[in-house]
Chain A
Amino acid sequence: MSKSQSDHHQQQLDPQTQFKSNNIIFPPETLARIAPHESLQQHLQLGLRPSLRKFNEFQTLDLKNGGISRYDQLLNDDSTNNSNSNSNTVLGSSIIKSGSSTVIMCVISAGIVEDSIDLVNDYRLKLDKDIIDSELAESNNGLNPDDDDAMEGIESNNNDTTNADKNETFRNFASVYTTTAINPPHFKPPTQNEIKLSQQLYTLIQTSKLIPQDSLKIPINLKSTTLNPQTGEEETVYITPQELAEVGLPQATNKSYHFVLYANLSIYSSLGDGDELLDLCFGALCKALKDVKLPLVYIEDKLSNGSSTNGKDSGTSSSHKMLASRGFKNVELFNVELICDSEKFTKLKLNDSKIGWFSSFGIYDLKPSSIDTTGKNNSKENEKAKQIILCDLEGDAEQDIFKRVSVLNHKDGSLGYVGIKSGSKDENHLKITKDVIQKCLKLAKFRSDDLLKEI
């Protein structure tokens, strides 16, 4: 606003607004800091957002594989890095850059868990459906039966009648144990936002049925080394469980195991720390999951000797250390007998149709401009505030927009999740209209169609 314009307005507006808007003039950056709402309002009235994007303009995204997983490194190996990649347990990674600043790096690793009988043959399945329903009605965490302290999971409009079915189906799908860190490293324990983000990601992955439990099952091979009579060199042979079954031999072990996936998301130089990060984190997680390669697991033939036993020895101590680093102390580990081959792997099978893109929108009640830029009298005084949709919220001021619509679109066109936050009890605020929601859904579809090609 130029000086002459503001002088002009002084004569027309009532004294209070004069003082507010005209006597003191701040440069935009200062105003954004001291009065974010005012700054946001003024920007939006001009048809621009503080980030100079248009209302419906998304941020540019750069989505790539991280290239730090052990298999990436094996492929690019050009030096004597054998020992290096040997201890690397990263199975998949991705990196996402949004706009000019925010960078999210997602790293996925895994652990091995013995199948509990509880999981395979759940007592709940045997009970009457009534009991299940009443049980679920008591516990509000209907979505996530495994997790007792689902702190702030995605709220869903739980329908009691469908809940039991849901639970049974979710049991067949796994999720990723996620930890997030915003602007790491910091000295503090995880903040509320980080905890919330991790939990939301966990729940979203599980409810979207992206990872079938079966794809995490570990076929346990037997390893054996034989001498090749022709070359005189030792050869490693793996005997798969199918081969064992064909010959009629007992399986390598009577226990069954599955992988659990861990993800670690580091969010660098993000301007916000709220819901808008969920979009990007979910994208990064999906991209990284696509990259995950699960190692071939075997039980070592006890008679074989050589380098592999050394690897085993160092492994037992390292597993203790890894547990300790993850917060578990004094854990008694039974002797590790499952070993992963250093090079052989299978790709993690995902429900590709369920890969999704999460988009969230801010809904803002734009009041009609109090400053008439054309210089005429305030003819618009009686005009009602109108709702506008802001895509990819960014920055402090936009973060305070409490009305949100978030949509998860799957690749197959189905909707995974729709969340609507209608905001405060402030009487002035407008309810989110059907039109706005429809428009949000359309925008989300458009965005996900565009981005899911890259995942």
Chain B
Amino acid sequence: MNVIDRRRNLGPADAQPLVFAAPTKQQTQSKNNKTSKEEPTSKKVFIETGTIKTSNGSAYLEHDKTIIMCSIYGPRPNFTRSFNDQATMKIGVSFANFIPVENLSIKSTNSINNVNNNGEAGATTSAESQSLEVSRNELEQLIQQFCFTNYQNLILLQNYPKSSLEIMIQVVSLNSQHSFIQLLSDILNCVNVALVDSGLQCKSMASCGYFKSSQSKEQSSKGDVELLVNMASDQNEILGVYCDLNDYDEQFKKGFEQCVENAKEFKTELAAYFLGCIAGSNQ
């Protein structure tokens, strides 16, 4: 089997990738001292719509050095032979080259190794295997699947027969301090905004809330609660829940409610932003 990609100019096959040493303790300490003064507040999110002119809808989201771009193409005619009574949706996720994803996957599973399937109403939680190492492809597929189940229920696909929609997500830059779930919530929010920009018919505007319990030392044995809820906010319909929890106890309940709160809050922010856009364009 030919394993070398001949269509890309990838350079010599025997090249070793760069391996960077972990920073020395001194450096980490000095930096930790600095940050201990600042409160770990949630960073601001920067969003812009309509960045990619050739697409039907696009959004750019920057959240503490994590940069995500989303572009939506469609509805376009679908030239498959069979008749489709509703639009087919494709989702493409890609991490830009040279972005290491190792930290991401390890972080997503390091607190709790066992991950369960979670069947919420109309929602799916994809489970990750116990192994710490998730390859780039697997990660992309995981995000793809999760997005697909989310947006299948949000976009009114039946209103676009014989056509196809493509949602392209690209992770341009990554703050690997962010956990996988945090990244996923950013991705979902980016797609949510791009969907509004595209003008596709949806049930309602969706927004995603993210919650992580404070990492106090006493709780660490139990594991931190980290989850996200993506919901169509007007109808209080939950599109997807993602978490890596063992048992669904009080903590989960609390986190869940917090997520819903966050999602609603984010939605009002977004609505204000879009109203501002309209007002701006009318002037």
Contact = CB atoms under 8 A, between A and B. Distances in A.
A101 interface: yes
A343 interface: yes
Contact of B17 (A82, A323, A329): A323
B54 A270 contact: yes
Contacts of B24: 234, 236, 306-308
Contact of B10 (A103, A183, A326): A326
A199 B3 contact: no
A41 interface: no
Interface string B159-197: 000000000111011011100000000000000000000
B283 interface: no
A83 B176 contact: yes
Given A199-B9, A233-B26, A311-B22, A319 B16 contact: yes
Contacts of A266: 96, 170, 172
A16 to B, nearest CB: 34
Contacts of A343: 23, 27
A80 B35 contact: yes
A13 interface: no
Interface in A252-267: 260, 262, 264, 266
Interface residues of B, number: 63
B171 to A, nearest CB: 10
Interface of A is mostly: mixed
Contacts of B254: none
A340 B168 contact: no
Contact of A307 (B25, B38, B67): B25
A79 B37 CA distance: 11
Contact of A185 (B53, B94, B136): B94
B80 to A, nearest CB: 14
Interface string A236-263: 1000000000000000000000001010
User: In the complex, which range does the number of interface residues on chain A fall in?
Assistant: 35 or more
B172 A105 contact: yes
A292 interface: no
A31 interface: no
B65 A84 contact: yes
B31 interface: yes
Interface in A271-321: 271, 295, 306-308, 310-312, 314-319, 321
B168 A186 contact: yes
A330 B7 CA distance: 19
Q: In the A-B complex, list the 9 residue pairs whose CB atoms are closest, starting with the nearest.
A: A111-B15, A315-B19, A327-B5, A177-B11, A185-B94, A311-B22, A87-B100, A269-B53, A109-B98
10 contacts: A82-B28, A111-B18, A112-B15, A113-B16, A149-B6, A185-B170, A189-B7, A269-B52, A321-B133, A327-B10
Interface of A: 68, 70, 73, 77, 79-84, 86-90, 100-101, 103, 105, 107, 109-114, 149, 177-179, 183-187, 189-190, 195, 198-199, 202, 233-234, 236, 260, 262, 264, 266, 268-271, 295, 306-308, 310-312, 314-319, 321-331, 333, 336, 338-343
Interface of B: 3-28, 31-32, 35, 38, 51-55, 64-65, 67, 69, 71, 90, 92-94, 96-100, 102-103, 133, 135-137, 168-170, 172-173, 175-177
